[in-house]
Amino acid sequence: MKEKKIIAMDLDGTITQHRTEVGDENKAVLEKLAEKYRLMIVGAGVCMRIWKQLKNFPIDIIGCYGMQFAKYNYEKETLEIVYSDKVECDRDSVNQRTDVLRKQFGYTEYAGESVDFHESGAVTIALLGTKAKIEDKLAFDPTREKRRPMYDTVIDMFPDYNVFIGGSSSFDMAPAPYNKYYALDRFCREEGYTHDDVVFIGDDYGIGGNDESVYKSDFDFITVDDYKNLAKAVECLL
């Protein structure tokens, strides 16, 4: 691995448990890395939510698969949005295609809405519905064995989106061309870095994972299969 200038990281599953604040041990790891590298998060959520999960740690953040970018202002000790892209979403078309998908695979009963439409234009197909109980969502498909057989079909039905197997019960879809590879490549072009300057750290690099596009690219990649093992995974960088 060539000498790096940027460490780009996934958040959930890599640095923290899903949707939980960073723990003291991994926060200390980030502090050590920050002494040597420029750090940034490349996540699926919005920048401010990611920053809150990191307990306002001084770090740059790419959110929404590259639809949002925020830089940390060290003088003001705050995160400042640089850009926030939005793409128009044809909700009727997405709902119609989702109905066909549900009938094909037998997910015709759900709580709340079938699809969660995000302000950015990204979409979440909630197989159990937007108002399903959290315990039901977590128990539905933690190994993704129920959704992987559907994955190619979802891709074929939504060619205008990049599709990811999200959480334990959904498909996350970012308007094309947005994904984490696109986000990192755009960052490098706009900030004057090469791909060789960057190493990415992530856990969701398998088929349908939202880190897969980076894992299969020319960016160097360090895999983390459990956020509790982050310190060991980054020893080579320290």
Model pLDDT for residues 167-196, shown as the tens digit of each residue: 889 999 999 999 999 999 999 999 999 999
Helices H / strands E in the chain, number of each: 8, 11
For the chain, how far is it from start to end, CA to CA, in angstroms? 13
Cβ neighbours around 197 below 10 Å, total: 18
Give the pLDDT score at 17. Answer: 87
Mean pLDDT of 98-115: 97
Check: CB of residue 65 under 8 Å from CB of residue 178. Answer: yes
pTM listed for this prediction: 0.93
Residues shown for the chain: 238
Is it the case that residue 1 has pLDDT exceeding 80?
no
Write out the DSSP string of 77-94. Answer: TEEEEEEE------HHHH
